[in-house]
Amino acid sequence: MTGQTITDPLRPGTINASKLAVSLGLLLLVILAFLAAYADTLAELKYYWFEGYNWQFLIPIAFVYMVWERRDILQGVEFRPSIIAGSILLAASVFLLVAGQVSSTQSLREVSIVAAIFSLVTLLFGAETTRRLFWPLAYLILMTSLPTDAIERLREPLKLVSATVSAEVLQALGYAVYRESNFLYLPHITLEVADSCSGVNQFTSSIALGIPIAFTMLNKWWKRLLIIAIAAAMGIVSNWVRVMLISVWHYHSAKESIHGPYDIYGLPFIFLVGIFFTLLITFAIADKQPPQDSSSTKPGMIRAAFVRLLSTRAFIAAAMTSLFILGATAWYLFHWQAQPVAPARSVTEFPMNIAGFEGRRVEKLPPPFYTGVAPQELIANYRNTADGQQALVYLAYFPVEDEQHELVDYRYNWLHRNANPISLDAAGQRLQLKRLLLDRPRQGMKKTVYFAYKINGRNPVALWKAKLGSVMDAMLHGRNNGGIVIVVFDGLHSSLPEKENRFLQGVLQAAWETLP
């Protein structure tokens, strides 16, 4: 029995309509399976986009527009599914997804979703298509939080620059403003240039949206690079303007609305003002001309090649392979659930008398430390009864990790910068930990910080080893529990005095008896 045939207007011969219908149905199922497998990842991206006012939700739309605008790069391509290469790439992509999902590592999932799109294009349409669309596909990485995470170290400097520039300009305009670090002291209110006001997220968004503006409106490379640079600069400069306007708004009296009337100076202000001026400059130097060959047959030829592809057995096989891999992944993730592991003993039973130090529980950690990171926490101040030396102990345990509670938390990544690995005899073994000399003159802070991880009996010292341990436990044993202990002493010590050293050993002993 044969299906109905239709004529291909651009190539002699016929196309099997029934195969075409099957292929379109399979393609729809592949899209649905992709959305099901990446449902949690997309939910996290949605939160990142809208809660952080990052505007990077526009990047997929810009991607489609860029591909349509530059569809000539697909001219003459013969779509041929690369089933073997594409299947291997897709399997590797969903492995990253599973690893990220079970260990609550959003960065792995974000790498995975972009890699999976590359893989699906290769699997369904061929390696040649992927090669021609490489840069538009690579552009999709900007819809994730990965670029912002990569420049996270700029957050503190940008906060300080925003506060400094704003204070200097306001003083030059005759306003009485005093700045200390990232705080602006006005006659009636003190304003803090907080993390969300650094402009880092909007800096990334401005670059991401500057790219399609440059490539769709300009032909010359130097003009394109200029517009991208201007977009990046606008993302920073408009943040300075925003801080100054908020300061002026509160100058004569503290207002109830922090971000101006009707929140007009809120975070969207940074992006919208920057993109507006970027567009004005782009229009002024625009040199984009219509393609010399604007024949209407070009889109028709690409469409005809796509229709021919859908009618082939190779595409049906590629689509079924994609559907199997994505469907199996979605099923596994839907049914997988980490089993919580209770601590060996409750953190509330942590001893309050260790090596001559008497402890007192407190509710909150002082900056730059964060409270509420783990489901189970102990925070205590200890004081040596003999000489008054003080120490702070923080014990955090995660019976199970999720998006809100992660052992390797980005808020504590700074601990590992400039920290040195050391070893110490405690709990009947040689433990691996790190020591950080925390010297922040602006805050008048001089502290020595020791910290160590324990993950199901293992004692990783490196950040990546701690994360890898969580991933492997989650995938192999269905658990992702772990704990961290942090001990903070006053002053900078390359080596601890004897009493403090004994106290540190005692804390580690108690922590190892508490953590499984």
Distant-in-sequence, close-in-space partners of 22: CB < 8 Å, separation ≥ 6: 316
**Residues 470-477, mean pLDDT to the nearest whole number:** 83
Q: Is residue 299's pLDDT more than 70? A: no
Q: Is residue 19's pLDDT more than 80? A: no
Residues 382 and 494 reside in one and the same domain: yes
Q: Is residue 296's pLDDT more than 50? A: no
Please state the three-class secondary structure of 229-266 as a single string. Answer: HHHHHHHHHHHHHHHHHHHHHCCCCCCCCCCCHHHCCC
- 23 — pLDDT class (breaks 50, 70, 90): confident
Q: Is residue 416's pLDDT more than 60? A: yes
Mean pLDDT in the chain? 85
User: Is the residue at 171 inside a domain?
Assistant: yes
Cα gap 40→71, rounded to integer Å: 32
Residues 358 and 501 reside in one and the same domain: yes
DSSP 455: B
Residues 370 and 495 reside in one and the same domain: yes
Predicted confidence at residue 318, as pLDDT, reads 94
Residues 414 and 510 reside in one and the same domain: yes
- 9 — pLDDT class (breaks 50, 70, 90): very low
Which among 251, 268, 285 is the end of a domain?
285
List the single range of 11-20, 313-322, 452-461 with lowest mean pLDDT.
Answer: 11-20
User: Is the residue at 157 inside a domain?
Assistant: yes
Share of the chain above pLDDT 90, in %: 35
Residues 354 and 271 reside in one and the same domain: no
For residue 122, what are the CA distances in angstroms to 24, 74, 83, 319?
18, 14, 8, 11
Tokens coding 299: 């889109």
User: Is the residue at 396 inside a domain?
Assistant: yes
| 103-132 confidence digits (pLDDT tens) | 778 888 999 999 999 999 999 999 999 999
Predicted confidence at residue 478, as pLDDT, reads 83
Are 198 and 252 in contact, with CB atoms under 8 Å apart?
no
When divided into structural domains, the chain yields a total of 3
Owning domain of residue 54? 16-144+294-335
Residues 434 and 485 reside in one and the same domain: yes
Residues 169 and 260 reside in one and the same domain: yes
Residues 57 and 84 reside in one and the same domain: yes
Q: Is residue 295's pLDDT more than 60? A: no
User: Is the residue at 4 inside a domain?
Assistant: no
DSSP 3: -
Predicted confidence at residue 288, as pLDDT, reads 67
Are 79 and 125 in contact, with CB atoms under 8 Å apart?
yes
Residues 32 and 74 reside in one and the same domain: yes
Residues 498 and 374 reside in one and the same domain: yes
**Residues 438-463, mean pLDDT to the nearest whole number:** 86
Residues 31 and 137 reside in one and the same domain: yes
Predicted confidence at residue 462, as pLDDT, reads 85
Q: Output the domain CATH number for residue 369.
A: 3.40.1000
Which among 270, 302, 335 is the end of a domain?
335
For residue 231, what are the CA distances in angstroms to 135, 156, 182, 272, 483?
19, 21, 25, 11, 43
Q: Is residue 55's pLDDT more than 80? A: no
- 88 — pLDDT class (breaks 50, 70, 90): very high
Residues 275 and 232 reside in one and the same domain: yes
Predicted confidence at residue 1, as pLDDT, reads 41
Predicted confidence at residue 439, as pLDDT, reads 86
Q: Higher pLDDT residue, 255 or 282?
A: 282
User: Is the residue at 3 inside a domain?
Assistant: no
Distant-in-sequence, close-in-space partners of 37: CB < 8 Å, separation ≥ 6: 94, 97, 326, 327, 329, 330, 333
User: Is the residue at 7 inside a domain?
Assistant: no
Are 83 and 321 in contact, with CB atoms under 8 Å apart?
yes
Are 89 and 17 in contact, with CB atoms under 8 Å apart?
no
Predicted confidence at residue 229, as pLDDT, reads 92
Q: Is residue 486's pLDDT more than 70? A: yes
User: Is the residue at 417 inside a domain?
Assistant: yes
**Residues 11-36, mean pLDDT to the nearest whole number:** 81
**Residues 175-201, mean pLDDT to the nearest whole number:** 82
User: Is the residue at 218 inside a domain?
Assistant: yes
